[in-house]
A and B are shown apart, each in its own frame.
Chain A
Amino acid sequence: MDWTQYLNPLMQGAWVTIELTIYSTIFGAILSFAAGIGKLAHNPLIKAIAVGYIEIFRGTSLLVQLFWLYFALPVAGQAIGLDLRLPPVVAGVLALSLNIGAYGAEVVRGAIQSVSKDQYEAAKALNFTPRKTLWRVALPQAIPEMMPSFGNLAIQNLKDTALVSLISLSDLAFRAEQLRNFTQDSTTIYTMTLFMYFGLALVLTAMMKVLERFVGRWRAGAR
């Protein structure tokens, strides 16, 4: 088989990889903010939930999390009389976003804490409510600080999507494995696959750079 004939199936897989990356990056970002802000909360219950979530998902392997959601959760659901059988795509997106969200939460927490104390004092002096302080003062300054780390995490997430092929989702890695089983032409197929992932990563990096400039536009003059 000629290498051009591999392109079509690999492209179909790449599309699934792109979709998975987009969904899990978006859900992961939401979780990052929720858990990162939650970890700084004064309410001990919210704080405990956030810390527990972050530690569990940062402390265990993504593949363990994925297998747990895919193989163990349905059994746990059966025990309590619920149908928790997740379709592979849901289990995949869920595991990826929970995992990347835990890493992102530490980034969000760090960035919020790095906002200077004077800013909080000024907000207090101006009689801002805590919520308003967070949304109008802390986050606008913290978000540009987060962007470089978020860029790295987005790449990390793209690479991690390859794991979902192990729960039979037909992403790029899965298609490559399928083609290899069919043709035994490992060198060509895996070289192409590596370069396709590399290409996706370069595009993603460029997109994150654009986003970084966008969220930091208000301080363009300052830096």
Chain B
Amino acid sequence: MLFGIEWDTSSTWAFATSILPILLIGMWVTIQAAVVGFFIALVLGLVWAALKAAPLKIISWPAIVVTEFLRDTPLLIQLFFLYYVLPEFGIVLPAFMTGALALGLQYSAYTSEVYRAGIEAVARGQHEAARALNLSGTRTFTHIILPQAVPRIVPAMGNYLVSIMKDVPLLSVVTVLEMLNVARIIGDRTFNYIVPLSMVGGIYLIMTLIASGAVRLLDDKLPKRGIPLK
């Protein structure tokens, strides 16, 4: 029994149908963790991107080194670091938030590159035209550059959301009851690993196929020439 739901081990099918609701509770946690982590990555990535684009080397270099470090070290170790080291400095977060923060930190390094690439991909001529029309720097950015960068940035971000979803099972090591952890507990208690673990694989496949389908649709639907922000 888990979350107050009993399982029925009389046959494989009965077992599978009886543990499905339990796994779906785990799936909901997985989705929540992915969304919170993604949100942190979006905000923090923007901060890194802005710092890396700074004209002063004393600002841009540390940002480059930090994002490189975040990108090149394993999520698992970052997670353990946050989980064990933050409390030593008096910051005690619930396991779920620590996990989401670790996901957000690791992926902020990736999203900062997406922002940078999206903005740099806007043709040079657009900057020059804006200048010729005597638009101010801020207006050029918000009305010319950003509307054209958004259609490039959004699909790439969508792909990272899918990747984050696939990294959520790592959070089980800090006791977050996401889908894989739930499946393992069921396996530990019933000595039947194959059904819950295969079901988690299947559910993941369905989730990622739907999510990547949505990203592809979004990519097709977004106007390539830009989105007017007014």
Residues of A within 8 A of B (CB): 55-56, 58-65, 67-68, 71-72, 75-76, 155, 158-163, 165-166, 173, 176-177, 180, 186-187, 190-191, 193-194, 197-198, 201-202, 205
Contacts and interface: CB of A to CB of B under 8 A. Distances in A.
Interface residues of A: mostly helix, strand, loop or mixed?
helix
A194 B81 contact: yes
Interface of B: 69, 71-78, 80-81, 84-85, 88, 165-170, 172-173, 180, 184, 187, 192-194, 197-198, 200-201, 204-205, 208-209
A68 B76 contact: no
Contacts of A160: 74
Contacts of A197: 72-74, 77
Given A162-B74, A187-B88, A63 B197 contact: no
A65 B74 CA distance: 18
A48 B58 CA distance: 53
Given A60-B208, A62-B166, A187-B88, A176 B77 contact: yes
A161 to B, nearest CB: 8
B73 A201 contact: yes
A68 B169 CA distance: 13
B74 A173 contact: yes
Given A64-B204, A190-B85, A173 B169 contact: no
23 contacts: A55-B205, A55-B209, A56-B201, A59-B205, A59-B209, A63-B172, A63-B180, A64-B180, A67-B197, A68-B198, A68-B201, A71-B184, A72-B198, A155-B71, A159-B72, A159-B74, A161-B74, A162-B77, A177-B80, A186-B88, A193-B77, A194-B73, A194-B77
Contacts of A176: 77, 80
B85 A202 contact: no
A55 to B, nearest CB: 7
Contacts of B167: 61
Given A60-B166, A68-B198, A190 B209 contact: no
A185 to B, nearest CB: 10
B88 A60 contact: no
Given A191-B81, A198-B69, 15 more contacts: A56-B201, A56-B205, A63-B172, A68-B198, A71-B197, A72-B197, A160-B74, A162-B74, A186-B84, A186-B88, A187-B88, A190-B77, A191-B85, A193-B77, A197-B77
Interchain residue pairs A-B with the least CB separation, the first 8: A186-B84, A201-B72, A162-B74, A63-B169, A71-B193, A72-B194, A159-B74, A190-B81
Given A190-B85, A197-B74, A163 B201 contact: no
Nearest to B196: A72
A61 B88 contact: no
A186 B85 contact: yes
Contacts of A187: 84-85, 88
